[in-house]
A and B are shown apart, each in its own frame.
Chain A
Amino acid sequence: RSSPFLKMAVHGPVVKIHPVVLASIADSYERRNEGASRVIGTLLGTVDKHSVEVTNCFSVPHNESEDEVAVDMEFAKNMYELHKKVSPTEVIIGWYATGFDITEHSVLIHEYYSREAVNPIHLTVDTALQSNKMNIRAYISAQMGVPGKTVGVMFTPLTVKYIYYDTERIGVGLLQRTRDAPNRAKGLTSDLCQVGGAATRVQDMLTTVLAYIEEVLSGKVQADNSVGRFLTDLVSKVPKISAEDFESMLNSNINDLLMVTYLANLTQAQIALNEKLVIL
């Protein structure tokens, strides 16, 4: 009776993560103390009716050994107070840990966080890449067991989504382009180069689309109606303007921009001149 697509159960809020949180977690993992196998920290954000938005985080020092775990709670409280001064709307919504699995120590830490927040979220990020992937998962705890007997805690998984502000998306776009650079370093280019880069990207996309169309026309690939509809949309998006109208619009825009450039140059020459006269 079970369906072939067994998805993770979604019995809780949707977790929306901003990329800044993941980047900070990666950074704290890189800075961990010698001998520590994982890093934990607090997650800050806002809670909605059906979702939880994680917007910030900070790492908390802790010691973990085979049989005991110690978390610096004073530190966590202090840091939260300091963070509240900058963004008063952020509240503690849970905690994160790097590593693949949920251990028994996690249960204890989760209990501590249950005192700080209502229904805390637990986020795991596998920074050691044990499964060749950075499994980013979120859990919420639920009580389980037979009533009357010992009660256990079960961590139920939640759906994780990534959300970005517009400016964040542009920042992440730049970071993604950095990963292709040879020594993982990338400078910020001048404006005109950026337009060139964007144009190249659009050109690449057009080449891919054209290759697909060629294949469909020659019968190698089955034609897909929905893709065809998108293509018609695409072609009709370029506005049909008569040649003279377009040329006059183009020229007037170019004239405006040239005039502004000329004025800017004139102003710069003027202040340079003024300075020379004053220093005389």
Chain B
Amino acid sequence: RDVAKRARMSSAASSATRAGSLNGRPGRSCIPIGPHVVLKMIKHYQEEGQGTEVVQGVLLGLVVEDRLEITNCFPFPQHTEDDADFDEVQYQMEMMRSLRHVNIDHLHVGWYQSTYYGSFVSRALLDSQFSYQHAIEESVVLIYDPIKTAQGSLSLKAYRLTPKLMEICKEKDFSAEGLKKAMIGFEHMFEEVPIVIKNSHLINVLMWELEEKSTVADKHELLNLSSSNHLEKSLQLLMDRVDDMSQDIVKYNTYSRNLSKQQQQKHQYTQRRQQENAQRQTRGEPPLPEEDISKMFKPPQPPPRMDTLLIAGQINNYCQNVKEFTSQNLGKLFLAEALQGHNS
């Protein structure tokens, strides 16, 4: 009985933290998205995405004062081996030029990418987003999770790099000191921007018509109780990442051990030198020349910290997703309990 009570409290707690982060940071308003953009992204993944490959595309829209609005998008073809002469830039330029003729906003305000179980924190994403954000401050990357969407609820999130991370990318200083100076933790890498779907009146009319005419029955995937498959895969990915992380930690530990050993050696050497010099002085001989210590003991190479940061960010993301998923499932289990309670 108290298992159930504990479950209720923990699900309430995890959903509360989730709601808190969804309010967005103060000062950053929501981003309105046109409904056909959403449908186009869904269609793009459905038709062209297979397995773990990601599909990408460009978002178009306008920037009104400091608010962003996304009004259209177009997909990017997949990178295949045989299209060696395919020119991405040319494709983009031609697409934008053509779209301008039909009055579609041709401002590149961001890009979208599909994800596999929430794994998208990578160096490639960071670089792309940095180049976009460098050009336009407000640009975002939309992450669309098709697997989560197929389970019943549209999963679309917009992310932006925090100003701190932008600074670091600008300096290209990814060393440990640089990161330490900026005090960046894995939680401060991306900030989520809430998005809103804005329907125009015409689209509203269309929705009413579709509801009337279409006979597609609702399958209620959202209330499906089977969850183990999804949970297993998410946990598997989490375990892989944690393995990567522990390897990194081992590397860092060896590095710091080497560093301290080297410090000791240097210290010993200087001491011996001084002793010898003192002895020589007593004997009246000229002291040995001061040798450059740093050249004798080359300092070990510090391991790069940026990858660790990315892995930590990814692990954090997986954990958040898993917690969301479990809180949702707990809700569903209680629903099933209520249904049984009436019957038994």
* A164: B residues at CB distance < 8 A: 214, 216
- Minimum CB–CB distance from A253 to chain B (whole Å) comes to 6
State whether B152 touches A20 (Cβ < 8 A).
no
| Bound complex: CA A263 to CA B340 (Å) | 30
Report the stretch among B262-270, B274-282, B285-293, B317-325 that lies at the interface: B317-325
Q: Does A110 contact B (CB under 8 A)?
A: no
| Bound complex: CA A256 to CA B230 (Å) | 13
Q: Does A207 contact B (CB under 8 A)?
A: no
State whether A175 touches B15 (Cβ < 8 A).
no
State whether B331 touches A195 (Cβ < 8 A).
yes
State whether A171 touches B42 (Cβ < 8 A).
yes
| Bound complex: CA A118 to CA B280 (Å) | 102
- Minimum CB–CB distance from A89 to chain B (whole Å) comes to 8
Contact residue among A33, A55, A173, A190 (Cβ-Cβ distance under 8 Å from B15): A190
State whether B196 touches A185 (Cβ < 8 A).
yes
Known contacts A250-B336, A267-B319; A171 and B98 CB within 8 A of each other: no
- Minimum CB–CB distance from B211 to chain A (whole Å) comes to 6
Total contacting residues, chain A, CB less than 8 A: 93
Q: Does A27 contact B (CB under 8 A)?
A: yes
| Bound complex: CA A220 to CA B39 (Å) | 45
Q: Does A108 contact B (CB under 8 A)?
A: no
State whether A165 touches B46 (Cβ < 8 A).
yes
State whether B98 touches A82 (Cβ < 8 A).
yes
Residue of A nearest to B17 (CB): A190
State whether A188 touches B154 (Cβ < 8 A).
yes
State whether A85 touches B91 (Cβ < 8 A).
yes
Report the stretch among B69-77, B115-123, B128-136 that lies at the interface: B69-77
- Minimum CB–CB distance from A19 to chain B (whole Å) comes to 6
* B200: A residues at CB distance < 8 A: 26-27, 30, 184
Interface string of A24-60 (1 = CB under 8 A from B): 1011111111000000000000000000000110111
* B336: A residues at CB distance < 8 A: 250
Known contacts A164-B216, A257-B329, A261-B326; A191 and B153 CB within 8 A of each other: yes
Residues of B176-231 at the interface with A, using a CB-CB cut-off of 8 Å, are 176, 179-180, 183, 185-187, 194-211, 213-214, 216, 218-223, 231
State whether B315 touches A167 (Cβ < 8 A).
no
Residues of B294-344 at the interface with A, using a CB-CB cut-off of 8 Å, are 305, 308, 312, 315-316, 318-320, 322-333, 335-337, 339-340, 343-344
State whether B202 touches A127 (Cβ < 8 A).
yes
State whether B323 touches A265 (Cβ < 8 A).
yes
* A202: B residues at CB distance < 8 A: 220, 223
- Minimum CB–CB distance from A136 to chain B (whole Å) comes to 7
State whether B194 touches A187 (Cβ < 8 A).
yes
State whether A28 touches B102 (Cβ < 8 A).
yes
* A169: B residues at CB distance < 8 A: 216, 218-219
| Bound complex: CA A253 to CA B228 (Å) | 10
* A176: B residues at CB distance < 8 A: 207, 210-211
State whether B331 touches A267 (Cβ < 8 A).
no
Mostly, the A contact residues are: helix
Q: Does B171 contact A (CB under 8 A)?
A: no
State whether B153 touches A194 (Cβ < 8 A).
yes
State whether B39 touches A238 (Cβ < 8 A).
no
State whether B206 touches A26 (Cβ < 8 A).
yes
Q: Does A216 contact B (CB under 8 A)?
A: no
State whether A198 touches B152 (Cβ < 8 A).
yes
Contact residue among A61, A78, A267 (Cβ-Cβ distance under 8 Å from B242): A267
State whether B149 touches A170 (Cβ < 8 A).
yes
Contact residue among B305, B327, B340 (Cβ-Cβ distance under 8 Å from A246): B340
Residues of A248-280 at the interface with B, using a CB-CB cut-off of 8 Å, are 250-251, 253-258, 260-261, 264-265, 267-268, 271-272, 274-275, 278-279
* B150: A residues at CB distance < 8 A: 166-167, 170
| Bound complex: CA A173 to CA B218 (Å) | 9
Q: Does A196 contact B (CB under 8 A)?
A: yes
| Bound complex: CA A275 to CA B242 (Å) | 14
Contact residue among B187, B202, B223, B340 (Cβ-Cβ distance under 8 Å from A29): B202
* A178: B residues at CB distance < 8 A: 35, 197-199, 207
State whether B238 touches A55 (Cβ < 8 A).
no
Known contacts A171-B38, A195-B331, A275-B312; A55 and B47 CB within 8 A of each other: yes
| Bound complex: CA A208 to CA B151 (Å) | 26
15 CB contacts below 8 A, A to B, read: A26-B200, A31-B102, A56-B43, A171-B154, A175-B197, A178-B198, A179-B208, A184-B201, A187-B196, A190-B19, A241-B340, A258-B326, A261-B323, A267-B315, A268-B316
**The 10 residue pairs across chains A and B that have the minimum distance between CB atoms:** A23-B36, A20-B39, A191-B328, A192-B15, A264-B319, A195-B331, A31-B103, A257-B326, A162-B214, A179-B204
Known A-B contacts: A251-B3, A267-B315. Give 16 more (CB < 8 A). A20-B40, A23-B36, A165-B43, A165-B46, A167-B45, A168-B43, A169-B218, A175-B38, A175-B203, A184-B199, A184-B200, A188-B156, A195-B222, A261-B323, A275-B186, A278-B176
Interface, chain A (partner B; CB < 8 A)? 18-20, 22-24, 26-33, 55-56, 58-61, 72, 75, 78-79, 82, 85-87, 89, 127, 129, 133-134, 136, 162-176, 178-179, 184-196, 198-199, 202, 238, 240-243, 246, 250-251, 253-258, 260-261, 264-265, 267-268, 271-272, 274-275, 278-279
